[in-house]
Amino acid sequence: MNSFANRDGAVVVREMIRVIGENRAYLSEIDGAIGDGDHGVNMDKGFSLCLSRVDWETADFTTAMKTLSRILLMEIGGSMGPIYGTFFDQIAKGAKDRERIDGSAFSAMLGSAASEIEKLGGAVRGDKTLLDSLLPAVEAFDASFEETGDFAKALTALQAAAEEGRESTRDMVARVGRASRLGERSRGVLDAGATSCCLLLNSMAESVKELLKEE
Amino acid sequence: MQRFVNDPSMAVEDMLVGFLKSHGDLVEGTENPRVLKSRTAPVKGRVGIVTGGGSGHKPAFIGYLGRNLVDAVAVGEIFSSPTAKAFYDAFAAADGGAGVACLYGNYAGDNMNVKMARELAEEDGIRVMTVVANDDVPSAPKGEEKKRRGVAGEIFMWKAGGAKAALGGSLEEVIAAAQKAVDNTRSVGVGLTPCTIPAVGKPNFAIEPGTMEVGIGHHGEPGIAVTDLTSADEVAKSMVDIVLPDLPFKEGDEVAVLLSGLGATPVMELYILYGRMAALLEEKGLTIHRSYVGNYFTSLEMMGATLTVMKLDDELKELIDFEAESMGLTQFGR
């Protein structure tokens, strides 16, 4: 199939929760190099709250995404609360009232998520933030989907671009957020936000690919 | 970790319990456990003063809740911005119908959460205007002041804004007074040891014994130079030499001075520093109108100090001298 059913999609959120839990220590360690070392702790706090708040028997893709978004926005704070809260809010909004989610709907969700985050934080590409993973990933998805019309192939392209984008932050100097106070000293390590964003995009892509296979 | 904690991830919650028990005459909780308000707030027809930020800076931020100071505070995790919801609830708790002045420090997370909270509040008809403190000189070069972070100078911003609101100022007037305080305030920090967030369990930066980090931020953001730790007099001079040229402060200026410890430096040593700093300021022809020395804005158990100097005019003098009552700062009118 080239689309997945909204009612089957909560698993996409549950998998992201698992991935963040597994990478809690790793994300904090990366953050510790140029930030204050709490990125994994804060992310896991929000994501694991979501695990207990969603009724996984009945929840669909929209509900699970919306619950995750609300928790991050209302209960987590920091920089990542509003950023990822906005991200998943846009995805939930894009999925609302859709029985099935196809490649064009997915593209629209990612696109509005990326532009809302750009507006909120005022960062641009190259500032060593999660946008350096997110923006290339969104573009790669769109380019591949336009060319092939194949949802799964476009997700594979998204994964490759997200990883490449994450790696690109290693050589960047942070220009926004706490790490920007380090100037040149922020060069040489990955950005924690780009790393978690890449993990999340990868996880979403894998889960959606599984859903596409099943049908 | 030689620390008094229970579950490290509950350190903020546990601290709030004790704070409310201890200062129930000044502050009270709200429906949102991450929002505290002054017992005096809101006052009908008076502009509400709100601030907020990450925890770990006691007495900031909740220690400045009280009469003629801050009306409501959004409380974040240690060194991490409060949620947009907490800022929004703080606006609602402080609003007496004349609008809310949100006076906070320049950090990415706070900027985003305040922005979102402000949009929510405006939908509900609460007018919110903001001032963003950026007093920390070494955090960005001159000409890029907008990028600088806010540190202990935030206290002067709250003092000016709180007094202006108490004097019956409109929201625009309160904002103008707080902005004037920020524009005339400069700070610098020096760190001698790192600090540890309890839930992280280890310091995420190091300061080698025998050295000091000049320009350190109060979350341990790296400074502009790591140098040998010299005598208190020499440290005092290097701090004064960073702060004064930036505004610049000039001969004949009247100033308010605040020297805050970063958490673990003995207050005795703050006075050792202050003695020299005051002499240096006077040598430059500045008149110290008021001074504050103590732990006003800390960074967990970091050793070190922040020097903050504010240039005064008649209005700022009136506002800084205005009486105020809070856990962190209580003074009688002059």
- Segment B212-227, tens digit of pLDDT: 999 999 888 888 899 9
- pLDDT of B206 above 90: no
Q: Which residues of chain A lie closer than 8 angstroms to B197, CB-CB?
A: 36-38
Q: Which residues of chain B lie closer than 8 angstroms to A74, CB-CB?
A: 83-85
- The residue type at B165: A
Mean pLDDT of chain B: 96
The verdict on whether B218 is a catalytic residue reads: no
CB A82 to CB B80 under 8 A?
no
Mean pLDDT of chain A: 93
Q: What are residue B325's phi and psi, to 5 degrees? A: -140, 120
CA distance B195 to B3: 11
CB A69 within 8 A of CB B85: no
Which residue of chain A is at minimal alpha-carbon distance from B149?
A181
**Shortest CA gap B301–chain A (Å):** 15
Cis status, amide bond into A82, omega within 30 of 0: no
- The residue type at A163: E
Give yes or no for B115 touching A (CB within 8 A).
yes
pLDDT band at residue A37 using 50, 70 and 90 as cut-offs: confident
CB A38 to CB B77 under 8 A?
yes
CA distance A121 to A133: 15
With CA atoms as reference, report the closest residue to B76 among B32, B25, B138. Answer: B32
Q: Which residues contact A13 (CB under 8 A, 6 or more apart)?
A: A50, A54, A61, A64, A65, A67, A68
- Return residues 128-167 of B near A (CB < 8 Å): 139, 147, 149
- pLDDT of A178 above 80: no
Higher pLDDT, A38 or B217: B217
Q: Which residues of chain B lie closer than 8 angstroms to A45, CB-CB?
A: 9
> What ipTM was predicted for this assembly?
0.79
DSSP state of A169: G
> What CATH number is given for B9-183 in this structure?
3.40.50.10440
* Residue-by-residue DSSP string for A97-152: T-SEEEHHHHHHHHHHHHHHHHHHH---TTSSSTHHHHHHHHHHHHHHHHHH--HH
pLDDT tens for residues B72-125? Answer: 999 999 999 999 999 999 999 999 999 999 999 999 899 999 999 998 899 899
**B133-143: b (≥16 Cβ within 10 Å) or e:** bbbbbbbbeee
Element (H, E) at B116: helix B108-123
Partnered with residue B261 across adjacent β-strands are B305
CA distance B316 to B178: 9
pLDDT for the residue numbered B334: 67
Question: Strand pairing of B254-261 and B304-312?
Answer: antiparallel
Q: What is the CA radius of gyration of chain B?
A: 19
Interhelix angle for B171-183 vs B314-321, to 10°?
100
- What residue spans define the domains of chain A? 3-214
**B68-90: b (≥16 Cβ within 10 Å) or e:** bbbbbbbbbbbbbbbbbbbbbbb
CB B207 within 8 A of CB B317: no
Q: How many CA atoms lie within 13 A of B311 on its CB side?
A: 19
Q: Range(s) for CATH 3.40.50.10440 in chain B?
A: 9-183
CATH fold of B185-326 reads: Hypothetical Protein Tm841; Chain: A;domain 3 (3.30.1180)
Q: Range(s) for CATH 3.30.1180.20 in chain B?
A: 185-326
CB B200 to CB A176 under 8 A?
no
CA distance B229 to B304: 11
Q: What are residue B290's phi and psi, to 5 degrees? A: -150, 145
pLDDT for the residue numbered A176: 79
pLDDT for the residue numbered A180: 72
* CATH top-level class of A3-214: mainly alpha
Q: Pick left, alpha or beta for residue B279 (phi over 0 → left; psi -120 to 50 → alpha; otherwise beta).
A: alpha
- Across the range B188-206, mean pLDDT stands at 89
The verdict on whether B219 is a catalytic residue reads: yes
- Across the range A15-32, mean pLDDT stands at 92
CA distance B89 to A190: 35
- Could you tell me how many CB contacts below 8 A there are between chain A and chain B? 88
Which candidate in B23, B218, B219, B289 is catalytic? B219
Q: What are residue B291's phi and psi, to 5 degrees? A: -135, 150
Beta strands in B204-314 (DSSP E): 211-214, 225-228, 254-261, 287-294, 304-312
CB A77 to CB B86 under 8 A?
yes
CA distance A7 to A100: 8
CB B221 within 8 A of CB B149: yes
Q: Which residue, chain included where needed, has tokens 């609300």?
A: A70
CA distance B145 to B135: 8
Nearest by CB: A76 against B83, B149, B217: B83
pLDDT for the residue numbered A179: 75
pLDDT band at residue A181 using 50, 70 and 90 as cut-offs: low
